[in-house]
Amino acid sequence: MSKRIIAVLPGDGIGEEVTAEAVRVIEKLNAATDAGFECVHVPVGGTAYDLHGTPLPEDTLSTARDANAILLGAVGGPKWESAPRELRPERALLGLRSELSLFSNLRPAILYPELADASTLKPEVVSGLDIMIVRELTGGIYFGGPRGIETVDGQRRGFNTMEYTESEIKRIAHSAFRAAMQRDKRLCSVDKANVLEVSELWREVVTKISSEYPQVELSHMYVDNACMQLVRAPKQFDVILTTNMFGDILSDAASMLTGSIGMLPSASLNADGKGMYEPVHGSAPDIAGQGIANPLATILSVAMMLRYTFTENAMADKIEAAVQRVLANGLRTADLAREGETPVTTSEMGQAVLDEL
Amino acid sequence: MSKRIIAVLPGDGIGEEVTAEAVRVIEKLNAATDAGFECVHVPVGGTAYDLHGTPLPEDTLSTARDANAILLGAVGGPKWESAPRELRPERALLGLRSELSLFSNLRPAILYPELADASTLKPEVVSGLDIMIVRELTGGIYFGGPRGIETVDGQRRGFNTMEYTESEIKRIAHSAFRAAMQRDKRLCSVDKANVLEVSELWREVVTKISSEYPQVELSHMYVDNACMQLVRAPKQFDVILTTNMFGDILSDAASMLTGSIGMLPSASLNADGKGMYEPVHGSAPDIAGQGIANPLATILSVAMMLRYTFTENAMADKIEAAVQRVLANGLRTADLAREGETPVTTSEMGQAVLDEL
Ligand SMILES: CC(C)[C@H](C(=O)O)[C@@H](O)C(=O)O
Ligand SMILES: CC(C)[C@H](C(=O)O)[C@@H](O)C(=O)O
């Protein structure tokens, strides 16, 4: 079997702590099977900026490029907020997505039955929630041009361009329809076609692609209504397909609905199955270094990696089952613990998953 | 006293039914005081399209322009969905906003204690919720250019421009700071300054304007986080200031949090206090013509009109108090009625408010 290289980019804040537990899971898989994963650690984000003066050093980018998959912790923190715009930790994320053509961002929003009461929504509204958001990740207003701040007639004007080509829309639509085929076969495409021409093209192309997936039921929704429906009746959704900007907003709302944002993994894939995997949560500088962060989102990101990049579905199933057993056994990190419950540490939670594997 | 002309644009669907009740309230004010309001009815939206071949006839626009205030019902419906883009009912809304320079859109999201259990969020998360969203309404990506769909190298590309000038940002920032001064003096400005240059300028200008309102506590939040925080802990907000596009999304989410979207009014103001007032809900074609729609959002829009355009605060207070008494008396239209409760009709609800005035 050819080498299976995983670039590990712990990043900032709790990134270090949570990726450490995920790497322990990978090592256990190596020990138990002939999986042969090799982890290569490189710095990214503020940590890389402190070491090398840039959040995405050339060596980090080339390691990520040569790897089969990337495991990312989290980037950012107040320490780097006053760094020049192009050197802020988030730019590393945007750079990796763009340089590696990771155009397909999969963000599941799942309510774990064991954590049902953590949601701010009423139980009947969210119980059993299981949505997959497919967000376009390398186009749209994030990367469109022209962009900038210019001075016209003595007055400044800021501008950005939201743009999509037919081929960009096609490839993300295919990702979403394929995701829907693996699930409940319902796809809701979210746009703002009543106002934006770019959305008009989006809607037309998505509709055209749908003829290749006759089993999938396609619907369209305006982004304002979609955000409203996520609050009103989120279980109506199966797969949501949307643009970079709208997906940024909707996926954050959707993950918060579940009340278990510390539990949610994500995948960002290119056309060849290469992917970057990361927890949905951020670097949480307020609790960094205390050993109390929840490592489960990162461990579940490894499961997504096994599924999408390495097609090791059995291994992925095993990890997910182990996580569910650990929750069922009542283990809770601080973010999940209710009043009166004693939380476990990051490494105790990691160890518990290892023991269940 | 000079004439006080109110252009009434009932529009489509339930628009006709709900504005009729609001006009009855205005007529009662006329009868009881020397208020001297004069209502002039003109068609808009699909209804106008059917009559005159355009959703915003010249006569409607000039009536709206000459009036002191505009009361709008709602526009749109499946009947007109296949009309050419520029002739769809929504275009009338965008046209009115832009032609009359109604740049400041105020959207309160209030949880009525009498309707507390209509929210999909847990009571402790939303009880007492009272947010004011200030949305920029005549700029940003809604009206920016260049825009269109072009063919490059045999491939189509859709594009829109998100843009703001310093002066556009300044005037909406002043609106928001003034709103905050009337309330709890906390303003959260929402942008995406970690990705967009236009947001960078937005943040800078809002921060500069804040020095003129030293009593207001200003914070900044990224739009994805703001949407998440609306679900997680909405009571942290007092006034939210944001752009046209982000405001479209966030205000829909915020109004749905209250569970009483049939209750929420809105105002769209220009620099001179002229305003267009309308319910937040849409034209609800599914229940149109049945006389069961909730007229309270439109009646409360009249209260906003009295406050913001006519500075008749005592009259506004009276209407709001009448609505609260009607709710307290247990009257519920179909959208608010719980199982086992017998709903009242649109005109019964309207009459009940009149009786309490
Ligand atoms: C950090 C930021 C640039 C990023 C984004 O906007 O894409 C984040 O919000 C995300 O969703 O991954
Ligand atoms: C109908 C549509 C054009 C409009 C908007 O996007 O502004 C509506 O959603 C609103 O919020 O008033």
Instruction: Say whether pLDDT at B19 is over 60.
Output: yes
B179-188 confidence digits (pLDDT tens):
999 999 999 9
Distance from CA of A194 to the nearest CA of B (A): 7
Give the C-alpha separation, A225 to A204, whole Å. Answer: 19
- Whose CA is closest to A188, among A231, A136, A152, A134? A134
Instruction: Say whether pLDDT at A2 is over 90.
Output: no
B247: nearest CA partner in chain A: A224
Is the domain A1-103+270-357 a CATH 3.40.718.10 member? yes
Instruction: Say whether pLDDT at A98 is over 60.
Output: yes
Question: Which residue type does B190 have?
Answer: V
Going from the Cα of A248 to the center of ligand 1, the distance in angstroms, rounded, reads: 7
Percentage with pLDDT > 70 across chain A: 99
Residues 6+ apart with CB under 8 A from A229: A221, A236, A237
Question: Which residue type does A15 have?
Answer: G
Inter-residue contact B294 to B86 (CB < 8 Å)? no
- What is the pLDDT, as a whole number, of residue A340? 87
Range A172-209 burial, b when 16+ CB lie within 10 A, else e: bbebbbebbeebeeebbbbbbbbbbbbbbbbbbbbeeb
Dihedral angle computed from the Cα positions of residues A23, A24, A27 and A28, in that order, rounded to the nearest 10 degrees:
-140
Instruction: Say whether pLDDT at A249 is over 60.
Output: yes
Specify the 3-state DSSP secondary structure of B162: strand
CB contacts of A159 in chain B (<8 Å) are: 144, 161-163, 197-198
Active-site annotation holds for A66? no
Active-site annotation holds for A192? yes
B6-18 confidence digits (pLDDT tens):
999 999 999 999 9
- What is the pLDDT, as a whole number, of residue B110? 95
- Whose CA is closest to B265, among B249, B280, B250? B280
Atom of ligand 2 nearest to the CA of A224: 9
Give the C-alpha separation, A313 to A305, whole Å. Answer: 10
Residues 6+ apart with CB under 8 A from B254: B107, B109, B131, B133, B230, B234, B240
Atom of ligand 2 nearest to the CA of A192: 6
Instruction: Say whether pLDDT at A1 is over 60.
Output: no
Indicate the residue of A163, A246, A256 with minimum beta-carbon distance to B231.
Answer: A256
Instruction: Say whether pLDDT at B1 is over 80.
Output: no
> What are the respective helix, strand and coil percentages of chain B, to the nearest 5?
45, 20, 30
Secondary structure tally for chain B: helices H, strands E: 12, 12
Average pLDDT over residues A220-238: 97
Average pLDDT over residues A283-287: 95
Inter-residue contact B159 to B146 (CB < 8 Å)? yes
Instruction: Say whether pLDDT at B289 is over 90.
Output: yes
Residues 6+ apart with CB under 8 A from B162: A141, A159, A160, A161, A162, B140, B141, B144, B196, B198, B243, B245
- What is the pLDDT, as a whole number, of residue A325? 96
Two structure tokens written together for B150: 């072009």
Going along B56-145, which residue ranges are E strands?
69-74, 104-110, 130-136
Average pLDDT over residues B146-150: 98
Distance from CA of A231 to the nearest CA of B (A): 7
Closest listed ligand to the CA of B196: 1
- What is the pLDDT, as a whole number, of residue A280? 94
Equal CATH topology for B1-103+270-357 and B106-262: yes
Query: Model confidence at B81, in pLDDT bands (50, 70, 90)?
Result: confident
Instruction: Say whether pLDDT at A330 is over 90.
Output: yes
Closest listed ligand to the CA of B85: 2
Across the A:B interface, residue pairs with CB atoms under 8 Å apart total 170
Q: Please answer yes or no on whether A162 and B167 come within 8 Å at the CB atom.
A: no
Is the domain B106-262 a CATH 3.40.718.10 member? yes
Active-site annotation holds for A130? no
- What is the pLDDT, as a whole number, of residue B2? 65
Backbone angles phi, psi at B159, to 5 degrees: -150, 145
B94: nearest CA partner in chain A: A195
Domain map (residue ranges) of chain B: 1-103+270-357, 106-262
Inter-residue contact A87 to A49 (CB < 8 Å)? yes
Adjacent-strand bridge partners of A275 = A69, A269
Domain A115-264 belongs to what topology?
Isopropylmalate Dehydrogenase (3.40.718)
- Whose CA is closest to A252, among B348, B224, B338? B224
Q: What is the mean pLDDT of chain B?
A: 96
First to last CA, chain A: 23
Pocket around ligand 2 at a 6 A CB cut-off? A 194-195, 224; B 90, 93-94, 248
pTM over 0.85: yes
Average pLDDT over residues B110-124: 93
Selected for mutation to probe chain A from B191, B220, B232, B251 (highest A CB count within 10 Å) is B232
A202-225 confidence digits (pLDDT tens):
999 999 999 999 999 999 999 999
Active-site annotation holds for A355? no
Inter-residue contact A71 to A279 (CB < 8 Å)? no
Q: Please answer yes or no on whether B225 and A252 come within 8 Å at the CB atom.
A: yes
Q: How big is chain A, counted in residues?
A: 357
Indicate the residue of B155, B164, B196 with minimum beta-carbon distance to A166.
Answer: B155
Range A106-142 burial, b when 16+ CB lie within 10 A, else e: bbbbbbbebbbebbbbeeebbeebebbbbbbbbbbbb
Give the C-alpha separation, A245 to A140, whole Å. Answer: 7
Instruction: Say whether pLDDT at A338 is over 90.
Output: no
Instruction: Say whether pLDDT at A247 is over 70.
Output: yes
Q: Please answer yes or no on whether B158 and A125 come within 8 Å at the CB atom.
A: no
Instruction: Say whether pLDDT at A292 is over 90.
Output: yes
Of A57-61, B85-89, B166-170, the one with minimum mean pLDDT is B85-89
Indicate the residue of B164, B245, B253 with minimum beta-carbon distance to A158.
Answer: B164
B159-207 confidence digits (pLDDT tens):
999 999 999 999 999 999 999 999 999 999 999 999 999 999 999 999 9
Average pLDDT over residues A283-288: 95
Atom of ligand 1 nearest to the CA of B192: 6
Task: Identify the residue whose C-alpha is closest to ligand 2 atom 6.
Answer: B248
What does A282-300 look like in DSSP terms, one character per residue? Answer: ---GGGTTTT-S--HHHHH
Give the C-alpha separation, A270 to A267, whole Å. Answer: 10
Percentage with pLDDT > 90 across chain B: 92
Active-site annotation holds for B248? yes
Pocket around ligand 1 at a 6 A CB cut-off? A 90, 93-94, 248; B 194-195, 224
Give the C-alpha separation, A93 to A44, whole Å. Answer: 9
